[in-house]
Every structure is written in C-alpha cells, then in structure tokens.
Amino acid sequence: MGIPEQNLCHEGPQPSAKWACVVEDVVVAVPHKVVLVSVIKAQASIGGDFVLVRDHNSPNDVVLHDDAEVDLSRGNVFYSLLRCEVQERSDCMDTPKLAFIVDDRAEITTRGEQNGNMLRELFGLAHHARLERDLEGPNDEYISLEAVVRFVDGPVFYSRTEEATLKITVNSRVYTEHQGVMATMTGLQIATLAFPDRPSETRVWFVSEVRREVTLTETVHIHGCEVFEVVRREVTGGYEMSRMDREISELRDGGQQITLVPAPVNAVVYHNLVTRNGQNVSVTDVLVPIPGGYPAQFIDLAFLPDDSPLIGKVKGEPQGPRVVALGRTWRQISYHPHQGGGAPTWNPTVHGFHTYLGELLSWLSNWK
C-alpha cells in the first residue's frame, strides 16, 4: 500500500537548518530533514488507524509506511487517511507541495527556488523586514532581497522588524533606504522608485509643501517623510503604437474601413462588417478594446452598438459594461475567440487586429 522512500541523500557536514512540515494544515516541527514517518505522526497526534500521505495534489499522492524515513526536502506537506480506506496507487509523478514557514506560519507552493524579495512578498512582509533562515546554532542566515532561497536548504525562517531611518512617499507608496532611498537623491533616482523601467520618461513633483517640479538632474536632500508624485510624460494606453499603425494600415490597404479610438477608451472600431454569411445580409460596426499590454496581452471581447438587433443572436452573452465612443454607446458581448472560442492560442508574433477581423466575421456569420 505504501511506498518507502528510496535513495535518500544525506549531505556532508554543514550548518544544519531547522526543519518543519505541514500536516493537516498545521505546522509541525521535526528534528531533522530526514525523519521517520512515525515521528511525524506522533508529533501531529495522528493515531495508528491512519496513514500519512505526502501531498502532490494528485490522485496518486504518496502513501508512507509508518517505519519508513521521509526526506522532507522532497515535499513537506502531508495529510492523513484511514488505513482501511487506502487503495493501491500508481507511482506519483507530480510535483510535491512545498511549505515555506516564516514565524510559524506556512505558505504552500510548488516552486522550490525563490529569492528574498519573493519570499517576503509571499508572506506579506515589508521589503525592509529582516528575514533569517533558522539554523541549529547561533549564526542564522540573513536573507537579502536578492539572495537565492532554495527550499532544500531549509524551509524555516523568522522575521524581525527593521526600522528605516529614511522614508519618502512616492505615488502614495512608502519607500525606505532598503529600496534605494538615500540622504541625497536626484529626480531621476526618485522617479526610478515608481517607474523603474523608464524613469527618464517621467516628470517628478515635490508635493510635501508648495507643489513644484523637480527636474531629473536636480538633487534633493532627503530628511524623511517627503512626498513626491511621479507621472509619465506620455500615455498611449500601454499598447505598441507602431504595431497598431502597421496592422490598421494593412486592413485599410485591403479596403476595410477601420477607426482607431484613443479616447475615452482605447479601442478599434471595425465598420460595416457583414453578418449571417449572405442570409438576410446586413452589416454592423464592432468595437474591440485594445489591451493595455498589447501585443503581449491577447485581444479579447467585442462590443456591439447598444441598440443592435444582433445582441442575443450572435454567440456570447451580453454583459453589463458599456462604453461611449464615436458618439455611440456600445455594449460588451462575451466573445473570447483566443480563450477556447475556436481561434488558435494567442501568438503575438502572428495574431493581431489584422487577424482578429477574421474572428469577428466568423462570429457574425454564426448565430445561435
């Protein structure tokens, strides 16, 4: 019924990490990384009528013999089952669940390698919180934001509040020296906190007292508690304008009437699309929103004029959201061609608004 652990790896002398596991959602401390199943059951108060099962989120979760040794680095999340109810199982090939534990609280993942920043975020800790791996001895391991954190090196950590001496607020978020705040900062360095990808394309405003602009080359003396606003110089809705121009031009060259709507909603309107494939032929305009991260983010949905007779006939339920564009009100229809609606999986190197036209024509020619 059970499968004993095989080929356990006992490592050479090194600072020993403390280990713990999660049994029935409860954190259970254990003496070693490799431990008898009977020890885990005893510490978790699991009776003899039950067996311990390692959780892989699989119908073939590994059932463990009481007298077997289990290597917690290969998965430390368990539950129990009545011994008499356990059936024979195939070998489990799925990834085991891994429980990282900070301050006696567990968070479960299948990712065995994190970094210090990811681990803090997993537990909702501030970036400047001091995080240490709990070792058997006085010299616990400090985990910096950039440090690689491997589950197999030990899953038990504790945190300590580390006071920041310099704090500034940028776009309503508090930043400290642990995130790059210094006693003197340029406008560019302040902008980098809010927009690390393109700080040079921003404007910085000092708003603590009298509102004034800080140039990107200006040096500001930081005393603590200063408040700034950082805004991008240009807003295009986040999509790649050159890509949009190319695709719209391609459609127009082919005779399709199409309008790019930059406001109040970023969208493309396809005009006079034929419906019903020649049966009671009529035409309609269709509005399609431009995703903020286009083309990496796929195109989805379609909006029909709010008074369109096609609503309720074409496939896809009418939804509540409405937008106003080109002097008309448009109603959202739940049409998702690239999410199980018949179109291929979205490929940003192939698909775009020029290919979405074919999906719209297919949609308009197939009524309920």
Nearest 5°: CA angle at 143, between 137 and 145?
Answer: 175
Mean pLDDT calculated for residue range 162-182: 82
User: What mean pLDDT do residues 227-241 have?
Assistant: 72
- Domains of the chain plus CATH, in order, are 19-160 (no CATH), 167-232 (3.10.20), 241-364 (3.10.110)
Q: What is the mean pLDDT of residues 158-174?
A: 83
What's residue 276's pLDDT? 73
Query: 29: which strand partners?
Result: 20
Mean pLDDT, residues 67-87 taken together: 94
Q: For residue 239, what pLDDT band results from cuts at 50, 70 and 90?
A: low
pTM: 0.48
Handedness of CA 119, 121, 124, 129 (dihedral sign): positive
**What's the rounded mean pLDDT across residues 139-153?**
92
- Taking all residues of the chain, what is their mean pLDDT, rounded to a whole number? 88
The owner of tokens 């990384």 is 33
Closest listed residue to residue 176, CA positions, set 188, 191, 194, 163: 163
**H or E segment and range at residue 192:** helix 187-194
What is the Cα–Cα distance from 316 to 336, expressed in whole angstroms? 8
Predicted confidence (pLDDT) per residue in 119-137, tens digit: 998 998 877 788 999 998 8
3-state secondary structure of 313: coil
Q: Which residues contact 115 (CB under 8 A, 6 or more apart)?
A: 145, 146, 147, 148, 149
Q: Does position 235 have pLDDT exceeding 60, yes or no? A: no
Per-residue pLDDT, averaged over 173-183, amounts to: 84
